[in-house]
Amino acid sequence: MSKNSSHYELIYDFILNSSPNMSLEELADRFVEITGNSLPVKLLGVFVFRDDAGELIRVSGGYSDGRRKTIVKFDKPLKLKEGEGIVWEVFRRKESLVVHEPFRHPQYYISKEEEPYVGQNAFILPLEVNGRVKGVLYIEKDEPFSDSEKKFFLGVKRILEKTFENSELVTKLRMEREEKNRILNSISYPIFLVDREFRIRGYNKFFLEMFGVHPGELKHKKCYEIVERTDKVPDNCPLFNLLEGKKNATSKINVKNKIFEASIFTHKSVYGEELFVHTIKDITELERKKRNLNLLYRVGLSLTTSVSIDEFRMKVEEFLEQEKEVDVRVFWRDGIENRFDYKKPLIKKVESVVSTIIEPKKSYSFSIDYLGEEVGVLVVSSKDGKKLPLEKVKFYKTFAASVELALQNLYLLEELRRALASLNVNYKATLESLSHALDYREHETEFHSRRVASYAVLIGRKMELTDSELKNIYWGGLLHDLGKIGIPDSILLKPGKLNKDEWEVMKKHPIIGFDILKHIEFLQEALKVVLYHHERWDGKGYPYGLRDSEIPLIARIFAVADTYDAITSDRPYRKALSPDIAYMEIERNVGSQFDPDIAELFLKKVKMHELMEIRKKVQEDIHFSPIE
């Protein structure tokens, strides 16, 4: 067998007898044993640099007489201060060195124990990790080092360097693990780390306590198997959402009747591996407060939409009936339905009732006031005779305040309704008087505005318009011809047909009426009738030539009513025609002058007797109105 083959076998043997988990000292001992017992060396040493001491320390080594292949290990380590021995020169230069007769080197250093075993040749190699020298490999023998021997020791050098690197990583990993455990256990709430495969890679004692598990049970476990007690990733898993690119990296979990929020952030391990840190915080109290606030908001919103005192009280009672943990009652003053028409103080009545159902110090009562007067009392009492939970006391104190506020809103709303009703009556009276004056100016069209406005409301009701829309049609109908104030009597009251110039003047009356009324806020919708009641479905109307749905709905409705009244009423240039003729004329102009849908509805659903009844009421009752 060649020398090269034997050296390769030595490296193979060295690797075979090494383990990734071996320490540097253990590996150095193995190198000394294999090399010293296989090659004719005289001195062997593996030196390691210690930063804290500033020394090169021989962690393993031995000597031989060079004639037999046996090695004797040194009993104790050798420490070389800076400048002692050739190894320091190699350490500083970071280069391998072959020296003939090393004992003649000015920096040669040897112990008395080693003097008989000095070799004639030395081979010294630096051990480097990431560009830094961590130690030195030292070999002496009598014969010069062959190329194959140098290759062998270079191979050993690389193995030792890798061991150095692994040793540093293991040390760093151990320190990081110790620091991680220290930090984790210093945190006062549950926390755990997982990898991308959802495997648990770290945790603190609070995590173990929370989920009632032992460290041994977590081996090879997925986090959701412990946290959610399921064998698949749940939809609300924060890590799953994070990996999927979703924004929500938090989730809520329920453990032992408590609510916890799990949040997540990333962390890099010493190996550069991405881990995901989960923090679990108890948000039971926060969720309870949020629930109560939301409940109070919804109840308050419901109460403030009450339209009567009976509905208001019913809603309060329905809400209190849902309470299962404590007894809650409301005592109202007699006469609250009659807008607080009372004389006796309520609190005397309440105290007499409360004293019979509640033990002292186990109940609370909260006054419900209106304008400084007590109108009710909310009483909260314990069911089991124990002290009331503070959270319930706070909740119903706030609830009582919400009831009080909603009650005030209810009566303010009632006052507003009355004020608006009064205002509405005044508006109606004013507008009806104004329209009557306009009709009176056109002597032969008296009652026209009230009549046609009432016809338009009838059509609107058949179309199931809202009360607000009907009111706008009526007010707009009353004022639709207001602009005729600006038309000269010579044109307005002319007994014959108007000429072209006169007609151009007459066509301005919708714009004149609009300009007069446009600054009155409550008439803004009604003005659509005033401005557009002469527009046509085919676009041939005036003043703007609008067509189809460009014309506001209430103006399209009014156009049909206006035509019917114009045909069935006396005009300056002719006598009134029959309702049958009016119906025929409207039918003839479906799709040209009139909206087809509205005209068809008028012809089919509006009966002549309904129109005749309205005409009669308008003429006989000056206070008649088709709207409230």
- Cα-Cα-Cα-Cα torsion 124, 130, 131, 134, nearest 10 degrees, comes to -40
Give the CATH number of the domain where residue 586 resides: 1.10.3210.10
**Nearest Cα to Cα of residue 10 among 46, 38, 42, 44:** 38
Cα(first)–Cα(last) distance of the chain, in Å?
A: 122
Mean pLDDT of the chain: 80
Q: Are residues 490 and 568 in the same domain?
A: yes
Within-domain flag for 578: yes
Number of domains in the chain: 4
Distance of CA 59 to the CA centre of its chain: 61
Do 94 and 11 share a domain, yes or no? Answer: yes
* pLDDT value of position 267: 75
How much is the average pLDDT of 439-444? 52
Read off the pLDDT of residues 312-348 as tens digits, 9 standing for 90 and up: 788 888 888 888 888 888 888 765 444 333 333 333 3
State the DSSP H helix or E strand holding residue 332, giving kind and residue range, or none if neither.
strand 326-332
Domain finish residue from 113, 139, 171: 171
Q: How far apart are CA 473 and CA 455, in angstroms?
A: 10
Asked if residue 446 has pLDDT above 60, the reply is no
Write the CB contacts of 233 (distance below 8 Å, at least 6 apart in sequence): 198, 224, 240
Query: Is the residue at 626 inside a domain?
Result: no
Same domain? 304 vs 242: no
Please report whether residue 556 resides in a domain. Answer: yes
Mean pLDDT of 417-443: 57
Domain boundary among 262, 282, 302: 282
pLDDT in the model for residue 186: 77
pLDDT for the residue numbered 14: 65
Q: How many CA within 13 A on the CB side of residue 492?
A: 19
Q: Hey, what amino acid is at 269? A: S
pLDDT at 434: 62
Together in a domain, 13 and 105 = yes
Range in 153-157, 383-387, 526-530, 544-548 with the lowest mean pLDDT: 383-387
| Domain CATH code at residue 295 | 3.30.450.40
Same-domain pairing of 233 and 252: yes
Q: What are phi and psi of 577, to 5 degrees?
A: -100, 170
Q: What is the DSSP string of 518-553?
A: TT-GGGTTTHHHHHHTT--TTS--SSS---GGGS-H
Of 329-338, 352-361, 412-421, least confident by mean pLDDT is 352-361
In a domain, residue 479? The reply is yes
* pLDDT tens digits along 450-489: 899 999 999 999 999 999 999 999 989 988 988 887 787 7
Q: Tell me if 47 is assigned to some domain.
A: yes
The residues, any chain, with a CB within 8 Å of residue 241's CB and separated by 6 or more, are 247, 248, 249, 251
Which range is least confidently modeled, 288-297, 382-391, 429-438, 603-612? 429-438
Q: How far is CA 556 from CA 232, 559, 593, 607, in A?
A: 64, 5, 9, 19
Determine the Cα–Cα distance for residues 113 and 72; give it in Å rounded to an integer. Answer: 11
What does the pLDDT look like over 131-181, one tens digit per residue? 889 899 999 988 999 888 888 888 888 888 887 787 777 777 777 777 777
Percent of the chain with pLDDT over 70: 83
Kindly state whether residues 325 and 450 are assigned to the same domain: no
Domain assignment present for residue 40? The answer is: yes
Domain of 224, CATH number, reads 3.30.450.20
Per-residue confidence (pLDDT) for residue 561, from 0 to 100:
96
Give the pLDDT score at 10: 63
**Residues 10-47, buried b or exposed e (16+ Cβ, 10 A)?**
bbeebeeebeeebebeebbbbbbbbbbebbbbbbbbbb
| Residue, of 171 and 100, whose pLDDT is higher | 100
Judge whether 578 and 568 are in contact, CB under 8 Å.
yes
Q: Residue 444 pLDDT more than 70? A: no
Mean predicted confidence (pLDDT) in 255-271? 76
Same domain, 164 and 31: yes
pLDDT of 282 reads 82
> Are residue 217 and residue 154 in the same domain, yes or no?
no
Smallest CA-to-CA distance from 6 within 34, 31, 28, 26 is with 34
Its domain, for residue 133, covers 3-171
Residue with tokens 């009276």: 429
* The pLDDT of residue 356: 37
* d(C-alpha 49, C-alpha 57), whole Å: 6
314 and 278 in a common domain: no
Under the banding of pLDDT at 50, 70 and 90, the label for residue 405 is confident
Residue 377 near residue 449, CB atoms below 8 Å: no
pLDDT given for residue 354 in this prediction: 39
In this prediction, residues 375-380 reach a mean pLDDT of: 84
Q: What is the rounded CA–CA span in Å between residue 346 and residue 98? A: 111
Same domain, 396 and 462: no
Range list of β-strands (E), 233-296: 250-255, 258-268, 274-282
Query: Against a cut of 0.75, is the pTM above it?
Result: no
Non-local (6+) Cβ contacts of 419 within 8 A are none
Inside any domain, residue 177: no
**Segment 509-516 mean pLDDT:** 88
Over residues 546-553, the mean pLDDT reads: 95
- List pLDDT tens digits, range 8-64: 566 666 666 666 666 778 878 888 888 777 788 888 889 999 888 889 998 888 888
Number of C-alpha atoms within 13 angstroms, CB side, residue 593?
15
71-85, 360-374, 375-389: which range is least confident on average?
360-374
Q: Are residues 297 and 218 in the same domain?
A: no
Q: Same domain for 544 and 522? A: yes
564-622 per-position pLDDT tens digit: 999 998 776 678 899 999 999 999 999 999 999 999 999 999 999 999 999 999 888 87
**Would you say residue 156 lies in a domain?**
yes
Q: What is the DSSP letter of 222?
A: B
